[in-house]
Chains A and B, each alone.
Chain A
């Protein structure tokens, strides 16, 4: 949004409005992140309580990451307008149940993509360690976003509380 909208809003009105626009985007994104975070927390109740904190963290974190990657892939698919490969369409037609096959295939793919890393984390300490280290670094990066989110909320508050 910084690249796409800040310029024209700032030009049409002023830079303060442009910053406001970005602040709302950050705030909405924060609300979404908190929502997803809460869902992950709820999922955490399904994880056996006997597992150590590291293992639980790695498992839920990787699931969150996988879901994010799928969502990003979905956006990129729309963004670049990739067509469905002709062979895939022909296959779906050939099955006579294209929707069932499509959803079934997507479900299988999503399940495998989630279960495989989860199993690796559960079974292999080395993988778990790698994931934890990765999340340590991602957390650092995320804290920058949290900072911007907070700045955004402050800007929104100032804009709306002014008399």
Chain B
């Protein structure tokens, strides 16, 4: 019989445990079969909270995205592209699953995951002959990545590209790159109430982390970009990492990279601060609705400042996009790669509404950019047909020669589709943050776009108790700013769209109605 461990040996064993965990990290993709080495890579770049309204490429008066305009000269620009939802969870879920929020059911704060049983209905699942990798600055993506993990070769930890992540917990604990950092944060960083679980080390750790950030303050006068209270990051780091790694991914690859700028807080680098402060651009005031500022007149001065800050942050993000594009082009990766640039939802700085977590689905919140660069494309193409985030999945399947599943709710985007766009097609978006994830939609705001018309349906909100549901109808061709609500129950188009909308809500609620 072997000698029993004494106390000293046991302590030695404990000391050796962390390195053993690290060095035993399993190699995630040893048996990846690249059966089609000639296939093109697919690179999806998402900038969080980027409204098409504020992009110069789409006609915004400020030159906010000169690099995107430059890139678009060799791509296809979608001028009427809509998000599936108005914040990251529903918007990204629609992009990644090719389904609307009422189908994937990831739309409220409590359940930020795809409906059980539909986890494999994701974009990565179809690219099993590709090296599939996902990264996001935004934590909301990780519950999806976890659900999709059987279909991903690499999920890069979000904290990898944060400034104060000096511990590389994700490498030490490869299977727990979510909960290990949460525990660490609780131990070491001050929560909203200002305390930590660690009694002794936390002040030293915080001082150390803060010093790293403090050193950057000169370059970021409005504050270092961050998400949450203290997750500081530089978009430059994300781009540098992608530029250095894109050439090393096994080919072909499908990469989804989700960067937080220009999401709030709007903290651009010094060279972009106040670039738009003296251009005297003032937007016309728009009527605030019940769901906006509760009837109070919008503070135009505040609105102007918010818009200026947002635009300057976009300009900063655009400069990094340009740097990424140049690097990918110079390295030759683009010759063999489909590049998709889009956003998950927009942002609003008008009508007394600031941000995107709002019941309203006006264009700034829901109209997002989409630019697709085909390998070898040299001439710009402009598409004005209304399109949706749910169309990206079927389009990527089509262009990579794969079958489109029956459950996909989108269609192949022009010009990649075999047939002309259907002008009678309905596109939808949904805001249902306060609805039950697994129940009927209430309260909610649903949007329907058909050709040039956009119908918005508000229902179940407390403010509408007396008046009942509210409909708005806009002619986006003649009134892109949505200033004139032309909904009139007596008009043919109002009635038609209203009926279609109500029928759709009835249809999607049906599985959740009692009896």
Contact = CB atoms under 8 A, between A and B. Distances in A.
Mutual binders A and B: yes
Interface of A: 1, 4-5, 9, 12-13, 17, 20-22, 24-25, 28-29, 32, 35-36, 67-68, 71-72, 75, 78-79, 81, 153, 156-157, 159-163
11 contacts: A12-B112, A20-B176, A21-B183, A24-B183, A24-B184, A25-B186, A28-B183, A36-B200, A67-B200, A153-B14, A159-B176
Interface residues of B, number: 32
B195 A160 contact: no
Contacts of B195: 75, 78-79
Given A12-B112, A28-B198, A81-B194, 12 more contacts: A9-B182, A12-B113, A17-B178, A20-B176, A20-B179, A24-B176, A24-B180, A28-B187, A67-B200, A156-B21, A156-B173, A159-B175
Interface in B70-124: 112-113
B199 A72 contact: yes
A71 B176 contact: no
Contacts of A81: 194
Contacts, number: 83
Given A24-B176, A24-B183, A28-B183, A75 B201 contact: no
A32 B201 contact: yes
Contacts of A157: 17, 21
A12 B143 contact: yes
Interface in B281-335: none
Interface of B: 14, 17, 21, 24, 26, 112-113, 143, 146, 173-176, 178-180, 182-184, 186-188, 190, 193-201
A1 B198 CA distance: 12
B183 A71 contact: no
B146 A13 contact: yes
A161 B187 CA distance: 24
A160 B184 contact: no
B187 A29 contact: yes
Contacts of B176: 20, 24, 156, 159-160
A77 to B, nearest CB: 9
Contact of A161 (B14, B21, B146, B186): B21
A160 B25 CA distance: 8
Nearest to B22: A160
A107 B180 CA distance: 36
A160 B175 contact: yes
A156 B172 CA distance: 11
A29 B197 contact: yes
Contacts of A67: 200
B190 A78 contact: yes
A36 B201 CA distance: 9
Contact of A79 (B146, B194, B200): B194
Most A CB contacts (10 A, CB to CB) among B146, B183, B186 go to: B183
Contacts of A24: 173, 176, 179-180, 182-184
Given A5-B186, A25-B186, A32 B21 contact: no
A5 B200 CA distance: 22
Nearest to A4: B186
B187 A5 contact: no
User: Shortest 5 CB-CB distances between A and B: which pairs?
Assistant: A24-B183, A71-B199, A78-B194, A21-B179, A25-B183
Task: Pick from A1, A13, A24, A32 the residue with the most CB of B within 10 Å.
Answer: A24
Given A12-B143, A153-B17, A1 B184 contact: no
B461 to A, nearest CB: 27
Contacts of A28: 183-184, 187-188, 198
With most chain B CB atoms within 10 A of its CB, the pick from A13, A17, A36, A160 is A160
Contacts of B200: 32, 35-36, 67, 71
Nearest to A21: B179
